[in-house]
Structure 1
């Protein structure tokens, strides 16, 4: 018979940070204990979520370990009870909610073996043309379930596709911590419903805004008592919510959080996608060594670029050089070009614009002064458009490339993004998409006038890649959005 894991206290779990030793066992204040075998999420010093065993049953355990955890624990408990009882809405059953021995709290719900998050299904099955039958089939049930919440006077303030689970052919809503009763037992009014609807709709690519009436129809099908929604006003609210989400996300890419590991010293700053941190540790320690060992792609005065492979993953390392003392002085007080490209890459990825995944950033520093910097991206093996479209100079591009060009430039224009160096060699054709690279000068403009000026320069730069009288040049000039 195996020896039970030693009991842990909330204080010990706080001290363990992101890496508590498994299995871990905690004791409830009533004397019962539970053992966590697998961690699913860790908020250091605040909360652990994992698969656990409790009284011979598999459960999903949320351990609230912060000193002032009672408020969050009680709020989640109340939200689950509101979903399950007052609203009669599908959510994992609450099995236990109790204080821990020696501080902290536990909340245990049924473990749904084989459940998929709706986010995973969206990525696997519906990351295709907006409004398609297949994509709508994935999304519509979530908006209908949201309508059921609203019909019973509830809102969910952390709406995203990951907070919906598919289990046994049924859709469930989770995360009771974000559930609030605004009008218990009565439908929300139009303003309340629109504000909450916008949170979920803002998770989708902006191309879905054109199909908003279909999502509103799915939402309204939940209950005839739901109010009518003003679709144009809803579009504006979704755009504002999406913009706020983008800014909140970009605020994380240079600080230590769940998604990114950031380390800062007097002489060095580094940021890395957290799930890549272990694999990229040798590179982060000595980026120049990895650069020298790679296949040199460019060796210029301002930057050196090489392709390398680490842990079976093909990467591109770009070092931003310092040319001379004057250049060093001009760059010292500004964010490095590597940092600008790091943020720009995450901006594009968030907006659904294909770009090689930005994986790590390293800066040499002397206190607040910046010196050299390195950017590490995933390698994209695609051909640049200058080469790929060379056989089509005297005719329109093939149908797939034509549609990809339209979609890319419509998205860039809608989001007020300028590239700054939009030559065809900075656009790669890969797996049916156009991948944007070299983001050193990329900007997202607040001002429509500033964007129009930058857009005209981008547009002209791209068109200069092909003879003015060629069919391809004429096609691009006709199809690309005007300023």
Structure 2
């Protein structure tokens, strides 16, 4: 192993997102802790990773901000509160100061651990209340019920804060654990508010199937209050809306999930996990288009498919036709930025769309010029082609269910597409996938959405003859105009 470089809280703050690995810090008892792998980093505040001390592997949390004492204490107290209540959590092995400033917490490193979020990904596409999906979710809600029965809440509830190790479910992130009523169950309002945080992580379709999750929550929690189902659904909707707003704001700035770089003449934003692999494309998107296979070359946009890093991508450039067009676009968010945000909106809501990976805007200070968006390639067949054999019979069962689900979800979320051509709908892996999100909008008012939905519905129906069985099926199964 490479010799670790000695670091302090101050030098780790200066290193930002890229501390030199491996590095070593000195604990208050004189031991050396060597950080081998970083799992999460909040620049200048906290580093979480796999570490080693005295021959033992640990999960290390380094609190390196000048005012780190409060967060370190809160994390320690949360872990201790979970352990006292008998809630499974990785055992705390050391809590102390770092030599030269900062604090550290060491817990057992669980080499076989997988987050419940990873387990959920395998079943996330199943219908709400499906038995396989419930099998993943129910243990988490049962664990939450046990916490609530002991007066504990977790303010950062998401499936990634539950780990499965050795067949046992555990709660992590003690920093977000609080004791509201030590030794006694939460009151109904407190429990409902915390329950809603976890339920809001799920697609909205689960809101109508909340009963089995409430049953799981109650199964191991003695003394838990009765929850008002209607009021709970309202809380979940409000919490999910707040989460969506917060998440979409993150898509446009530098943060844990996204890497943003801004200069006078350019803005580049990429999914952080993809940024290094896409670096060559981001540096010269026009060259990438030139080396790709042209799919469309119009006045307002140019689209190409390219092979990069052994996987296919789609890059779309938004062109400027003339000076007047350039001036009209200069002060508004680019169409690439709009499609970028809307793609992430759909993904957040569990609506199938090719993953948005990066966007670029040419800038002249605050003025926007050309722009690009890079998405994953979807190999699906467009609905005009895929449904052609079924024009006189109506869609097969799988396609019928997928169409009903998609449009019911869009309607419930008040989302309009703006260009509902059959070629903008792809059939892939049992889902109808939406592409070309330039005109997509989530409406604030029911009346605005109703007008937009009438246009979307009419445009979708125009893809097929009015006297066909497929047209009649769609007209009967789409949400009403």
* Bin for the TM-score computed over the shorter chain: over 0.9
**Aligned partners of 1:432 and 1:89: how far apart in 2?**
39
What's the CA shift for 1:286? 0.9
Q: Which runs of 4+ in 1 moved over 3 A?
A: none
- Does residue 368 of structure 2 align to residue 366 of structure 1? no
- Does residue 365 of structure 2 align to residue 346 of structure 1? no
**Aligned partners of 2:327 and 2:275: how far apart in 1?**
31
**Aligned partners of 1:341 and 1:293: how far apart in 2?**
23
Q: Which residue of 2 aligns with 1:225?
A: 223
TM-score by structure 2 length? Answer: 0.99
**Aligned partners of 1:263 and 1:131: how far apart in 2?**
42
Q: Which residue of 2 aligns with 1:13?
A: 12
Q: Would the aligned equivalents of 1:126 and 1:134 in 2 still touch at CA under 8 Å? A: no
Q: Which residue of 2 aligns with 1:22?
A: 21
Q: For 1:38-437, what aligned pairs fall within 5 Å after superposition?
A: 38-85=37-84, 87-437=85-435
**In structure 2, the residue corresponding to 1:279 is in which secondary structure?**
coil
**In structure 1, the residue corresponding to 2:57 is in which secondary structure?**
strand
Q: How many residues align?
A: 481
- Shift in alpha-carbon separation, 1:29–1:220, aligned structure 2, 3 A: same
What's the CA shift for 1:13? 0.9
**Aligned partners of 2:254 and 2:60: how far apart in 1?**
25
**In structure 2, the residue corresponding to 1:66 is in which secondary structure?**
coil
1:53-109 CA-partner distances (Å, limit 9, x unpaired) = 122211100001111111111100010011112x12111100000000001110000
- Shift in alpha-carbon separation, 1:325–1:3, aligned structure 2, 3 A: closer
1:278-336 CA-partner distances (Å, limit 9, x unpaired) = 11111111111111111111111111111111111211111101111111111110000
TM-score by structure 1 length? Answer: 0.98
**Aligned partners of 1:281 and 1:168: how far apart in 2?**
39
- Could you list the runs of 5+ residues in structure 1 that have no partner in the other structure? none
Q: Which residue of 2 aligns with 1:31?
A: 30
**In structure 2, the residue corresponding to 1:251 is in which secondary structure?**
helix
- Shift in alpha-carbon separation, 1:460–1:291, aligned structure 2, 3 A: same
Quote the RMSD (CA, aligned, Å). 1.0
**In structure 1, the residue corresponding to 2:419 is in which secondary structure?**
coil
Q: Would the aligned equivalents of 1:400 and 1:432 in 2 still touch at CA under 8 Å? A: yes
- Could you list the runs of 5+ residues in structure 2 that have no partner in the other structure? none
**Aligned partners of 2:123 and 2:367: how far apart in 1?**
47
Q: Which residue of 1 aligns with 2:469?
A: 471
Deviates more, 1:130-139 or 1:188-197: 130-139
Deviates more, 1:215-224 or 1:72-81: 215-224
**Aligned partners of 2:378 and 2:131: how far apart in 1?**
30
What's the CA shift for 1:276? 1.0
**Aligned partners of 1:166 and 1:274: how far apart in 2?**
26
